[in-house]
Amino acid sequence: MADAAVNVDKLEHDIRTAAITRRMRPSLFFVDYDSLRSGLVSQSQFFRILWENMSVKLSDDEQAALATKYAAKDGRIDWRRFVDVISLPFDATDVTVDPACQRVCNSCVLSTIT
C-alpha cells in the first residue's frame, strides 16, 4: 500500500462524472442496503455498492480516504452525505474556479464502437 496522498475532491469528481454519464441515481443503490433508512451502511457495503452497482473500483488508499471523510461515529459510512456531494453539478466550495467550468457534460453517450 502506497503512502501517496489521495485527492478526495478529484475522486469525488470522478465518481460524479461516472454517475452522470451513466445516468445513475446512486441513492437508489444505497437505500437497498440501508433497511433502517438511517443513512448509514457498513464500509464493506459502501465499497461493494460502488464496485458492483456503479462500476467504480477504488484502490485501498482511495477507500481509506473516502471512509475517513464520510465515517460516522460508529465506524459506518454516511452514504447520504456522500450522495449529496456527488449529486452536485459542481463543487460549491471551490471558489477559485468558475462553476460553469466545473459542470460535467452528460451529453456524451457511452456505447460500443461498431
- What does the domain layout of the chain look like in residue ranges? 8-102
- In this prediction the pTM is 0.73
User: How many Å apart are CA 45 and CA 34, to the nearest integer?
Assistant: 9
8-21 and 79-86 helices cross at what angle (nearest 10)?
A: 70
Domain 8-102 has CATH 1.10.238.10: yes
Dump pLDDT digits (tens) for 15-55: 998 888 888 888 889 999 999 999 999 999 999 999 999 98
Place of cell 437505500: 31
Dump pLDDT digits (tens) for 55-108: 899 999 999 999 999 999 999 999 999 999 888 765 556 667 665 565 544 444
User: How many Å apart are CA 73 and CA 87, to the nearest integer?
Assistant: 23
Contact 51, 59 (CB under 8 A): no
